[in-house]
Every structure is written in structure tokens, then in C-alpha cells.
Chains A and B, each alone.
Chain A
């Protein structure tokens, strides 16, 4: 049970993190990795070797779309959410809120 939860949590949360970052605007892989580390103040760090395969998977599923765009004298591959990606993000975000509030109810109960 513990392992399954952990695996599902990791899997779902990794997707959620990327989808959430792409909601604001289109970003390239390097930027996504940096942003995750920066916004979590170094607590969550994404292994680069896992980041790109995950981006390719999301792209294959049709949740994100990658496009080459010129920037700084060279082209970069930017990823942006598709309409399916938006719907998926909304659903995953709702599940995450449910999950985190449930966790909080359990974890914070003695402090209340």
C-alpha cells in the first residue's frame, strides 16, 4: 500500500508540477527544471534524466505540445498546454487539493 501510494504520488505530482508550470506560459525543459527548484526553494528537485522522458510522455499523450522557437540566437523547444492538458491539470489539481487537505486533517489534528 505504502509503495503504491508513494509511486502514484510521485507519478501524479511530477505531472502536476510540469502541467502547472506550463499553465502560466510556454517554457523549455531547462527552465522547467530550474523553476521547480527555485519555487520549492530547493526542496523539490527534478532529476533532469527524468524530466525529458516525462515531457515526451506528456507530449505523446497530447497534454502538452512542443514547438521550436528562436530565442537568444538559437532555437529552443518550448512546451505549452493543450486543451486536453488544461482539463487534465484541473482534474489533477482538484485531486491534489483533496489529497493534501485530507493529509492535513490527519497530520494537523493534534495541533488544532
Chain B
């Protein structure tokens, strides 16, 4: 004879009703099983089949347990008594949560999360990407430890130019090899900053480099009232007016004659990366934005001077029959272009190519005219190489296209991760409270029952985010130079930063509607949860089959 009460008790436990009521329910359901069993036997069914038929009446005991509790108490079964697949009693729910948290130990996943924050930053390209607090702390430590490199880092990235200049002085005093950081202060900046002493220092320290001279000419260019008039003047007039000024012409002449072109990007990249590693920041994004804020010499002015040498000086010499003098001018420009092309940043490389093309456009016909066919043929090969170099930017566009597809995916999955992380946190808080006080709040219990779905969804969204970002996961040591950093991850981070500007700053409805929409969604979700809870309390019957 079967112990029907025990069969029901085993399957229905725990049923957190008052003991008397619970026993009544168990007894009543055991009668149902027993009656069905006896009826099946009396119909001539075998004993095992009769037992099977009887038990099949309640094929989902977990639901029955919930329904009975809800019917008797008019509220959800306490979440810690639930045994559904998403119950906090299930070890796999906690394993899922741990797995989601374990993803945080992956540097790539942390980078992906950072990607989301970039889209919501006002302007990640600004120097202020580093917090002044962090920089101030680093400065204090660097001064205490006489750490010239850390001081140089602060000098390069501090948003306050005066503070930065003071740190630069200290860094250079500690280590003269760091004099190149003066380049940051060698441009006309806002306020009362005077770049002249910094340029003079650079010229003395690195006299063979074109960059300090370009910075000097650029300072004149930036201040010159001619520049403001150039749209009306036109480029030819502007360059003639500029070269008439010795403060522009002389440094430019020295720059074009200098044996090397070094904008200190490599030194800066190495310094930044070393400090990043020292600080434990494995943040290619931060490194990229830090490099992006590097000041260049005035490339427009540099190109204008190339045009002057080719189209004014060279052409005049050619017209006067002084072909050798013209060729020498063209070669000066071409050689400067070659030196500039060796710079590590793409923009300088492209300007270097452009300057060489300006030169070759005149030099090639001149060489043919002079019958120097072999030299002309070599130059033609050079021109073909230049075009190939320019085509490299086509590859860059491909990377950009891939990034433009990946960036929205990263952003959306990142936002979803943040939403589910918040929901999981709320669920965690609710189940902890309910563990402590089981009958604390029926609304809280209802929320904990519903929100348990956030845990697996958090893991799925996290995997989605990691998957979308995975092609861009890099350690900062994997980049050879700033150019490679910009080429590899620049398109993605640039697109992410652009999404922010595109969505929020181009006069779209989003600036006005984004937060109200988010607010409405939050209110709607809370409203739905409360309404469902109220509806559940009103109870409903069922007529299945």
C-alpha cells in the first residue's frame, strides 16, 4: 500500500503555510491521488500504470506548490522557497552570477565596458580625459620619489597649462633627456602662455630637428593677422605674404634644411605607455586619446611653405632658365617630405607624401626636359610608391567600416549589460533581504521572483559585449607605436566617441528626449511590476484542457 501523504509531502515540501493548513492541503491532495489510483485499479489497469496515472494528475509539482501557496495566502511563494530554474536556491544561478563576475577579470571585458563609458563622455579627445585629482596624486608621488618620467607625464597631460609647465620644468631639471616635453608648450595656447622660451630650449637641445623650427614658424603663423584673411587672400597670396615675414621664412628655411624630422611622438608614446604600465592602466583607449591630444607643428603652414618653394621660387628659377637652381628647390622639398613621412603619426605621414607630390609634379617634367631619363624613371617609381602609400588609407577605411558596424553593437550590448547589472544588483539586494526576513515584503518577494531572470541575461549580455569587442582586445604592450595604436583601435574608439556626438550633439531630438525616454521606461517597468503584482493578488482561476 502506498503512503500517499508521504508522496505528496515529499513533492510539495517546502510549503511555507501554517503547519495545520499545510497538513490539510497534503491530506486533501493525497486523497485525490489515492482515489484516482483506486479508480484506475478497479478499471482493470495494472498497479504500476495505475500509480503512474495517479501521479500524472500533478505533473508539475513546483507550479502546484506555487499555485497552492498563492491561492491560500494571496501572494507569491517566498523566493527562497521556490525551486524553479531561476530560484536563488539553485546553485547554477549563483554559478551564472559568478561567471558573469569572472568576466570582469578579463582585461578585454573591462576594456569593452570602458567602451560604453566613452560614448557618454563629453569629449574624450580632450586633455582633461585624465582626472586632475589622479594627476595631482601622481604629481605628489613623483615629486616625493624624484620620478622625472611621472612628472613629465603629468606635464604632458595636466589640463592647466601653468601647472603643467611647472611640472615640465621639474621633470627636465631631473632628467634633461626629457627636454622634448617642451614641445607641448611650444604652441600658442590659451591665456598668457608664451611658447617662445620653450621653443628656444627645444632648438638648443635638438638643433638638427625640423620640428622646433616648424613650431617657431607655426607660432608666427598662429598669431599672424594674415591667416584670418586667407579665405579672401587665397593661398598663393597668403604664402607670399607669409614668406615676406622673416619670423616665418627663416625658421621654415631651417626646418626644411634640418637633417631630421622628429615630433617626439615615439618618445611620448613610450613615456605614456611606461607610466600606464607603472600605474596598472591597461587602457588602450586612454592611451589613444592621450596620444590624440599631442600637438603637431602647424601642418598647414608647413605645406604652404613647400608650395612657396616649388611654385614660387622653383618655378621662377625655371622660367629664368636656372634649371639646376629650380631642381635644387624641388629636391629640398622632396627630401623634407621624405623625412616627414617617417614620422609615426598618419597625419604627418600623409602631409609628407603630399609635400613630396607637390615637389615631384615639377621635378619630373624638369628632369625629362633636361634629358635625365634614368633619374626621371626612378622618380616615377617613387611617385607610384607614393600612390601606394596613399592607398594604405583605403585599408584604414576598411577598418573604419568594420568599426562602424562593431561600435553600435558594443554600445548597445554594453548598455544592456549595465541595465542587467543594475537589475541583478537589485535582485541580489532583494534576495539577501528576503533571506534575512522571509516575509518582509510581498512586493519585494514578487520583484525577486521576476528579477531573477536578470542573472542569466546579465551573463548573456556580457558574453555578447565581449564577443562584439573581442576583435579590438589588445594589451598596451602590443602596439609598436602611436600610429599602430590609432590604426588598430582608433576607428572603434573614434566611432564610439562619435556616436555620442552624433546622437546627442547634432540637433537631433535625443538631447531633449533621451533622459525623459529612459525615465519613462523605468517608470513603465516599475508600473508593470506593480500592476502584475496587484493582478496576481486579485487571483485568477483556470480551465485548462
Contact = CB atoms under 8 A, between A and B. Distances in A.
Interface of A: 7, 10-15, 17, 28-30, 33, 44-50, 52-54, 56-57, 60-61, 68, 74, 76-77
Interface in B490-545: 539-545
A71 to B, nearest CB: 10
B192 interface: no
A56 B71 contact: yes
B374 interface: no
Contact of B68 (A13, A46, A52): A52
Contacts of B57: 48-49
30 contacts: A11-B541, A11-B542, A14-B541, A14-B542, A14-B543, A28-B31, A29-B28, A29-B31, A29-B32, A33-B32, A46-B543, A47-B545, A48-B58, A49-B57, A49-B59, A49-B60, A50-B67, A50-B541, A52-B32, A53-B71, A54-B71, A54-B541, A57-B71, A57-B541, A60-B71, A60-B72, A61-B539, A68-B24, A74-B31, A76-B31
B110 interface: no
Contacts of A53: 64, 67-68, 70-71
Contacts of B72: 56, 60
Given A30-B35, A57-B71, A76-B31, A50 B543 contact: yes
B74 interface: yes
A61 B545 CA distance: 25
A55 B539 CA distance: 12
Contacts, number: 81
A44 B542 CA distance: 12
Contacts of B544: 47, 50
A13 to B, nearest CB: 6
A49 B543 contact: no
Nearest to A12: B541
A65 B72 CA distance: 13
Nearest to B69: A53
Interface in B154-184: none
Interface in B34-71: 35-36, 57-60, 63-64, 67-68, 70-71
Nearest to A54: B541
Given A48-B58, A76-B31, A56 B542 contact: no
A52 B32 CA distance: 10
A56 B517 CA distance: 43
Describe A's contact surface by its main secondary structure.
Answer: helix
Q: In this complex, which of B28, B59, B74 has the most chain A Cβ atoms within 10 angstroms of its Cβ? A: B28
Nearest to A7: B540
B28 A52 contact: yes
Contacts of B31: 28-30, 74, 76-77
Contacts of A57: 71, 539, 541
Contacts of A30: 31-32, 35-36
B24 to A, nearest CB: 7
Nearest to B68: A53
The residue among A46, A52, A56, A61 with the most chain B CB atoms within 10 A of its own CB is A56
Contacts of B27: 77
Contacts of B71: 52-54, 56-57, 60
Given A30-B36, A46-B545, A49-B60, 4 more contacts: A10-B542, A33-B32, A54-B71, A60-B72
A10 B58 contact: no
B238 interface: no
B303 to A, nearest CB: 70
B59 to A, nearest CB: 7
B29 interface: yes
A9 to B, nearest CB: 8
Contacts of A49: 57-60, 63-64, 67
A77 B543 CA distance: 22
A69 B35 CA distance: 16
Contact of A52 (B29, B36, B60): B29
B542 A50 contact: yes
Contact of B542 (A28, A29, A47, A60): A47
Contacts of A11: 540-543
Given A52-B32, A54-B71, A15 B541 contact: yes
B277 to A, nearest CB: 61
Contact of A45 (B32, B542, B545): B545
A29 B31 CA distance: 9
Nearest to A28: B31
A72 to B, nearest CB: 10
B67 A10 contact: no
